[in-house]
Structure 1
Amino acid sequence: MRRNLAILLYGGVVALVLVAGVWSSWGTAQHVLLAKGRDHGTMTVSACGEDVCTGSYVPSGDSEPHARGVTIDRSVAAKKGERLPVVVKPGTDQVVRTGAAGVLHAWVPLGGALVLAALVIGGGLRMPRTAWATGLAGAALLTATFVAL
């Protein structure tokens, strides 16, 4: 009985961590994965602060121009003068990177959640093979994102 309660408790923690990772990732990933009908274009980074980079936006195709420029998270755009393919978040001047690098970057919170869940799976649930697989999947996602950006 006590073992079943522990499994239920640790299973709930794992589920909570993974759901939080997906929820946190989906906020950005939805704009990259469901980009049909959104404004696409290219951002040229002109300045970077601590949290965001700003720059000009050149729309592609039938996309709308943004006269005031656009902003992107600092972790995505590293250098001044860099040109990035982006999609605009509806109703804002914020953009997210598209392509493989954008997709990988959007799912970074899930990668961290997988690594964290692996510790609970291995230590709490006593499932070492599943823990290794979960941890390696998270590490692979984080590594692929680092290489792509």
Structure 2
Amino acid sequence: MKRARASKRNDALLYAQRAAMGLVAALLLAAGFWSSWSTAQHVILSKGREHGTLTVTGCSTDVCTGRYAPDDPATPRDRVTIEKSVAVDKGAVLSVVLKPGTAEAVRTGPAGTLHAWLPLAGALVLAALVIGGGLRMTRTAWAAGAVGGVLLVGTFFAL
């Protein structure tokens, strides 16, 4: 009788642990997606947005500024900002799309797409540790870690 109760208690603790680890993994992935989507939406859903090139004229610690030349008949701008990444140097010419109603640019093309999904890549790598260690789902963990790693390495080489 006591063994049956102990077994049920252990099963309940196991289910609670798995639920908690699943919640942590889901939270990591949701946060990574949400963080990525704020930039990625402008790259992926760029139809109808203002496209052009940005010539970087200077960079501070977190943003770079430059002159914007539109592809279509829109007005050029002298000061447009873009988030600074390791690959942006003074004088670089980047293909960009402007966020609607702002003077903020987002890099387009394969490099911009990969850079936009960088937070999700990091979240996949972190979630892989939780999935493998906490949920004991090793194949799923390896798959999530591999996808995150490929995104990270791809972004490194694309930028």
Instruction: Give yes or no for TM over 0.5.
Output: yes
**What's the Cα RMSD here?**
1.1
Equivalent position to 1:123, from 133, 143, 153: 133
Which is higher, the Rg of structure 1 or of structure 2?
2
Matches within 5 A, 1:88-127: 88-127=98-137
Unaligned 5+ segments in structure 1 are none
Aligned length: 148
Q: Does 1:141 align with 2:147?
A: no
Q: Does 1:36 align with 2:43?
A: no
Identity level (%): 61
- Larger CA deviation: 41-50 vs 56-65: 56-65
Q: Deviations over 1:112-137 (max 9, x none)?
A: 00000001001100111111111111
SS at match of 1:118: helix
- Misfit runs of 4+, over 3 Å: none
Residue in 1 aligned with 2:35? 24
Q: TM-score, normalised by structure 2?
A: 0.89
Equivalent position to 1:70, from 62, 80, 87: 80
Residue in 2 aligned with 1:3? 14
Q: Deviations over 1:73-93 (max 9, x none)?
A: 111652111100000011111
Residue in 2 aligned with 1:15? 26
Equivalent position to 1:47, from 58, 68, 84: 58
Unaligned 5+ segments in structure 2 are 1-11
**Contact conserved, 1:41 with 1:57, CA < 8 A, in 2?**
yes
SS at match of 1:125: coil
Residue in 1 aligned with 2:3? none
Q: Matched residues in 2 for 1:83 and 1:93: separation?
A: 17
Give 1:32 shift. Answer: 0.4
Q: TM-score, normalised by structure 1?
A: 0.95
Q: Matched residues in 2 for 1:43 and 1:128: separation?
A: 44
